[in-house]
């Protein structure tokens, strides 16, 4: 079965379109961040696909909101024995009561939290979030330096922040890149993929054929890295894929 990929943007939502030798169109929303993917018959053009997506926007937005709610509901309690991910590896939280500020370190298969005995859950979460952010800030300079001469452009500024629906973003006018703090939980090659992805947007704003060709040239296995990133849990939970239900109609199944 032959396939071809494309990217389009509808109502501010990036959509991954895969053209296949199939009869009906299928729209799906994937965890953890609500990535929208369309499997479309080869005979359909972009306008037909955009129209189908617009018609299903309420459903798509509901699915994305459910995923965000699931992330909020799965917040860690920051107690001993919980599982946490650091650079794609799973660690069990080990608590050591010590005075002073809350700090973290990894040892073997443990994520060790040094914390005052009376510290609150919220304070522990905030400290862990700051630790993840610092881990990203430590890795990003070397990656940016590596890829600037390859891609042929340079970001004027980059920042780390928590984002609900994106792993990264790019402002082409200011050449400012943002990276999701959650990336510190993923395998390092997923972070590298996001760096290349966002830097490529400095050359091409849209997810179009030129963008895909540039990514293919810079990072030939970028699609595998993207799929690995989007398949990995955002929080420490097992996720299931959200897909459309309902009867099929010629050229459209949503």
pLDDT tens track for 14-26: 888 888 888 889 8
Are 183 and 65 members of one domain? no
On whether residue 236 sits in a domain, the answer given is no
Assign 3-class secondary structure to 151-167.
HCCCCCEEEEECCCCCC
The pLDDT score that the predictor gives to residue 221 is: 95
Are 219 and 162 members of one domain? yes
On whether residue 240 sits in a domain, the answer given is no
Are 69 and 114 members of one domain? no
The pLDDT score that the predictor gives to residue 240 is: 29
Domain count, the chain: 2
Give the single-character DSSP code of 239. -
On whether residue 250 sits in a domain, the answer given is no
**Mean pLDDT throughout 178-184?**
95
Report the predicted TM-score, pTM, of the whole model to 2 decimal places. Answer: 0.70
pLDDT tens across 81-124, in order?
999 999 999 999 999 999 999 999 999 999 999 999 999 999 99
Are 161 and 202 members of one domain? yes
Are 60 and 95 members of one domain? no
On whether residue 243 sits in a domain, the answer given is no
The domain that holds 162 is classified in CATH as 3.30.2010.10
On whether residue 63 sits in a domain, the answer given is yes
- Per the structure, the complete domain to which residue 94 belongs is given by 83-231
- Cβ atoms of 12 and 166 closer than 8 Å: no
On whether residue 245 sits in a domain, the answer given is no
Are 23 and 143 members of one domain? no
Are 149 and 183 members of one domain? yes
On whether residue 142 sits in a domain, the answer given is yes
On whether residue 175 sits in a domain, the answer given is yes
CA–CA separation, 113 vs 97, rounded Å? Answer: 8
Alpha helices in the chain (DSSP H): 46-55, 57-73, 121-151, 188-200, 209-218, 222-231
Are 113 and 146 members of one domain? yes
Average pLDDT, whole number, for the chain? 84
Out of 73, 105, 120, a domain closes at 73
Are 118 and 58 members of one domain? no
Confidence of residue 53 (pLDDT cuts 50, 70, 90): very high
Are 66 and 169 members of one domain? no
Q: Is the pLDDT of residue 233 over 60?
A: no
Are 48 and 96 members of one domain? no
User: Within its chain, how far is the Cα of 178 from the centroid?
Assistant: 12
Are 154 and 201 members of one domain? yes
């Amino acid at each position: 079965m032959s396939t071809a990929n494309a990217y389009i943007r509808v109502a501010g939502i990036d959509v991954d379109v895969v053209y296949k030798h199939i009869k009906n169109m299928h729209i799906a929303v994937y965890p953890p961040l609500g990535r929208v993917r369309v499997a479309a018959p080869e005979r359909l053009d972009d306008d037909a696909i955009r129209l189908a997506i617009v018609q299903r926007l309420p459903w798509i937005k509901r699915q994305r909101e459910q995923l965000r709610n699931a992330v909020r509901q799965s917040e860690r309690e920051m107690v001993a024995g919980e599982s946490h991910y650091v650079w794609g590896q799973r660690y069990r939280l080990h608590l050591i009561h010590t005075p002073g500020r809350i700090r973290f370190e990894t040892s073997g298969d443990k994520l060790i939290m040094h914390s005052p005995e009376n510290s609150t859950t919220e304070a522990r979460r905030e400290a862990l979030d700051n630790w993840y952010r610092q881990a990203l800030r430590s890795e990003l300079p070397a990656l940016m330096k590596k890829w600037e001469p390859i891609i042929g452009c340079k970001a004027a500024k980059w920042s780390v922040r928590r984002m609900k629906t994106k792993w990264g973003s790019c402002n082409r006018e200011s050449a400012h890149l943002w990276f999701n703090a959650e990336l510190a939980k993923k395998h390092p090659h997923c972070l590298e993929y996001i760096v290349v992805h966002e830097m490529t947007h400095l050359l091409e704003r849209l997810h179009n054929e030129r963008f895909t060709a540039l990514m293919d040239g810079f990072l030939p296995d970028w699609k595998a890295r993207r799929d690995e990133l989007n398949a990995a849990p955002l929080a420490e939970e097992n996720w299931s894929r959200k897909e459309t239900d309902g009867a099929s109609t010629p050229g459209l199944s949503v």
